[in-house]
Amino acid sequence: MRAAVAGPIVLVGAGNMGGAMLSGWLGSGRDGSSIIVLDPSPSEAIKAKLAEKGASSYAVAPDGMIAGILFLAVKPQMMDTVLPTVARLVGPQTVVVSVAAGTTLASLSKHLGDAAMVRAMPNTPAMIGRGITGAYGNARVTDEQRGQVTDLLKVSGPVEWVSSEADIDAVTAVSGSGPAYVFYLVECMAEAGRKLGLPADLAMRLARETVSGAGELMRRSPDDAAQLRKNVTSPGGTTAAALSVLMADEGMQPLFDTALAAARKRAEELGS
């Protein structure tokens, strides 16, 4: 049963992430008339989707409108420009949701006041309904609003609520930025295959299908990642030879520790 929202869902910014969320909302049977998009230049695809489902879009919000959920999906660097223009949409019943990396609740409050607010961090597989979102809500967010926000976010995959705002920067480092690490893994595997003498395009096909197939296997299997790895590693075999390099003291773990620490630091800098 979907939790009722006190007013329209107002999406500010219908780009990559906002557009993906919007597609999920409209595709999951949500009433189009309950959704308002604010974007100065929505794409033709977004305009067609809105028209088909009876949802409206404006460059600037009509006078007197108060949002039930104000969903902010503009770039972090646009926030100081956009927030003053949408502050009047926030009423006592409104919950504000921001997906902007690094934008803190304190910085949102400067423009939007002491509102119920959620910081959420989705990732790009949201575009195919296969994302995962970390979310943190301030003390003003009621259980009912948390349910409403979970309903909105879960169209793109599971929603994990964290207990401190600082954890959102760590979520950003793991899953928000994570798809890029996986794509880079494919690039590295393909390049290593090319160096072993395979044609570059064949090496890329092998790497790409291996990573996506292994991901799908992991999704469907009850086993955790470590068990799945052990399942394909015969003692003394080829996989064991490669893993002895990747799992060495100077192998992938310290590299990932450093990389994710850099991502979290950058998220903290964006929020300061």
Ligand X SMILES: NC(=O)c1ccc[n+]([C@@H]2O[C@H](COP(=O)([O-])OP(=O)(O)OC[C@H]3O[C@@H](n4cnc5c(N)ncnc54)[C@H](OP(=O)(O)O)[C@@H]3O)[C@@H](O)[C@H]2O)c1
Q: What angle do CA 222, 224, 229 make, to 5 degrees?
A: 115
Nearest residue to 172 via CA among 138, 141, 135, 137: 135
> Measured from the CB atom, is 73 or 190 closer to ligand X?
73
Tokens representing 241? 């030879």
Residue nearest to ligand X (CB): 15
Minimum gap (Å) between residue 19 Cβ and ligand X = 7
Contact 152, 17 (CB under 8 A): no
Q: Measured from the CB of residue 12, what is the shortest distance to ligand X in angstroms?
A: 5
Residue 154 or 194 with smaller CB distance to ligand X: 154
Query: Smallest gap, in angstroms, from Cβ of residue 188 to ligand X?
Result: 21
- Comparing CA positions, the residue from 134, 204, 225, 130 lying closest to residue 171 is 134
**Residue whose CB is less far from ligand X, 39 or 151:** 39
Query: Which of 76/147 has CB closer to ligand X?
Result: 76
Q: Is 116 helix (H, G, I), strand (E, B) or coil?
A: strand
Q: Which among 61, 62, 60, 57 is positioned nearest to 26, based on CA atoms?
A: 57
Nearer to ligand X, 98 or 203 (CB): 98
- 120 strand-pairing partners: 135
Cα gap 106→117, rounded to integer Å = 10
**Interface positions with ligand X (CB under 6 A):** 12-18, 38-41, 73-76, 78, 82, 99-101, 121-124, 176
Question: What is the smallest separation between the CB atom of 168 and ligand X, expressed in angstroms?
Answer: 11
Sorted by sequence, the CB contacts under 8 Å of residue 33 that are 6+ apart come out as 54, 55, 56
Q: Could you tell me the smallest distance in angstroms from the CB atom of residue 228 to ligand X?
A: 26
